[in-house]
Amino acid sequence: MNLIKIKHTAEKKSYLLKDLSEKIGMSYQNLNRCIRENKISANDLEKISEVLEVPISYFFEDDIKALTRETSIGNTNINCEKLQIQYNAALKEIEYLQKQIKDKEEIINLLKRK
């Protein structure tokens, strides 16, 4: 949650924090404390989002992006592990096929001698 967005959004919409606090029924000092400590009740945040005409999710967008980034990193790690497993399997198959080729060449050479 990023409550500093309350201050920035209020400024963009030409609201003073004092006016905003009055509209939501909160003291100016309490609103400032909430923003500074980045803690607020869901009810108050809902009122603020209505007055500022932004979805409540707007105040959580940074958290969502961070989670998405972590999930992407996590998926990348999983994909890397899968690729490593596939790579190791491919190396084993190559070794096996090289041995098969060597064995076949030996058989061909033996047959040519006869």
Write out residues in the chain with pLDDT < 50, as ranges.
Answer: 66-67, 70-72
Residue at 88: amino acid letter = N
At 64-78, the pLDDT tens digits run: 554 455 444 555 555
Residue corresponding to tokens 């009055």: 22
Q: What is the pLDDT of residue 37?
A: 92
35: CATH = 1.10.260.40
Secondary structure string (H, E, C) spanning 17-69: HHHHHHHHCCCHHHHHHHHHHCCCCHHHHHHHHHHHCCCHHHHHHHHHHHHHH
Answer whether residue 114 is part of any domain. Answer: no
User: How far is the C-alpha of 79 from the C-alpha of 87, rounded, in Å?
Assistant: 12
Instruction: Tell me the residue range of the domain where 38 lies.
Output: 4-54
Q: What is the pLDDT of residue 21?
A: 94
